Amino acid sequence: MPFAAWGLPRRLLDGALRGAAVAAGAELRAGVAVQGAEPGPDGWILRLPGGAIAARQVVLATGKQAFRGHPRAGAPPGALGLKLHLAGVDPGGTVTLLPFAGGYAGLQPLPNGAHDGGANLCAALHGEAGAAARDAAAFLARVAEGSALGARLLAGARPAWDRPLAVAGVPYGFRARAGGPPGLFRIGDQAAVIPSFTGEGIALALHSGLAAAAAILAGEEAAAFQARWRRRSAWPMRWAELGAWVLRQAPGAFTGVAAVAPAARWLARGTRVSRC
């Protein structure tokens, strides 16, 4: 990356965000799944296990999971996301991108204390996942076979679990259309799903959340917000799709070739939503 970036465990990031929301006056109902959202007399009615609540606006932030009744229109076929904690690996102080057949993985250090220091291996897989989705050793082998760097870094890896955690149906490249029902603001992965290798998904989620909050406070219609966010996310998404295409066609392109390093840096900058 042509800049320093943070790799944070979700436990820390989500905890900090929840704390900030509660400190700002939000009422938090943890462990409650919203079962549906339908237009009501004064905005929306949300169905919860214990009853219903009325809301003037709804911010749809259910991420990778589709929300019943509100499908992502035009979403491309979903990829598989995998995650595995490892001991016996020294990823250094960096996030390493490891291409392999059918996908790519990111290897990054875990905070001190977790699995002997250890590392987190996350991957996006397109097409047939085979045993990699069910078996930690098969997943490790598949990533290690993809590059000499992967083989070296993962040589002594000991998986913390028998099988990787998996999330299916991640529609990389999806962008919500402009429009949509009044008072429903799509943010994060419900608005745009950027290829994971960019490490920009969380930034898109945070920026779109802030933009939706500003739009609601300004009394703006959801359709106007959605159209603006679609425009703002267009270039980062295009650059990310281009990068994903290069990764698929020539997996070694981003690693260690001095001639393409400036192009890769340029492309990485283009994927940053904070620049748009």
Ligand X SMILES: Cc1cc2nc3c(=O)[nH]c(=O)nc-3n(C[C@H](O)[C@H](O)[C@H](O)COP(=O)(O)OP(=O)(O)OC[C@H]3O[C@@H](n4cnc5c(N)ncnc54)[C@H](O)[C@@H]3O)c2cc1C
Task: State the nearest-atom distance from the C-beta of 71 to ligand X, in Å.
Answer: 13
40 versus 171: smaller Cβ distance to ligand X:
171
Question: What's the min distance (Å) between Cβ of 217 and ligand X?
Answer: 20
Residue 183 or 199: the one with the smaller Cβ distance to ligand X is: 199
Q: Which is nearer to ligand X, 189 or 225 (CB)?
A: 189
CB of 195 vs ligand X, minimal distance in Å: 9
Least distance between ligand X and beta carbon 258 (Å): 25
Q: Specify the residue, 6 or 258, whose C-beta has the smaller distance to ligand X.
A: 6
CB of 25 to ligand X, least distance (A): 20
Taking the complex as a whole, how short is the minimal distance between the CB of residue 23 and ligand X, in angstroms?
19
Q: Indicate the residue among 64 and 269 with the shorter CB distance to ligand X.
A: 64
What string of H, E and C letters represents the secondary structure of the chain? CCCCCCCCCHHHHHHHHHHHHHHCCCCCCCCCCCCEEEEECCEEEEEECCEEEEECCEEECCCCCCECCECCCCCCCCEEEEEEEEECCCCCCCCEEEEECCEEEEEEECCCCCCCCCEEEEEEECCCCHHHHCCHHHHHHHHHHCCHHHHHHCCCCEECCCCCEEEEEECCCCECCCCCCCCEEECHHHCECCCHHHCCHHHHHHHHHHHHHHHHHCCCCHHHHHHHHHHHHHHHHHHHHHHHHHHHHCHHHHCCCHHHHHHHHHHHHHCCHHHC
> Which residue number, 32 or 263, has a Cβ lying nearer to ligand X?
32
Binding site for ligand X (CB under 6 A): 33-34, 61-65, 67, 81, 106, 122-124, 167, 170, 188-189, 196, 199-203, 205
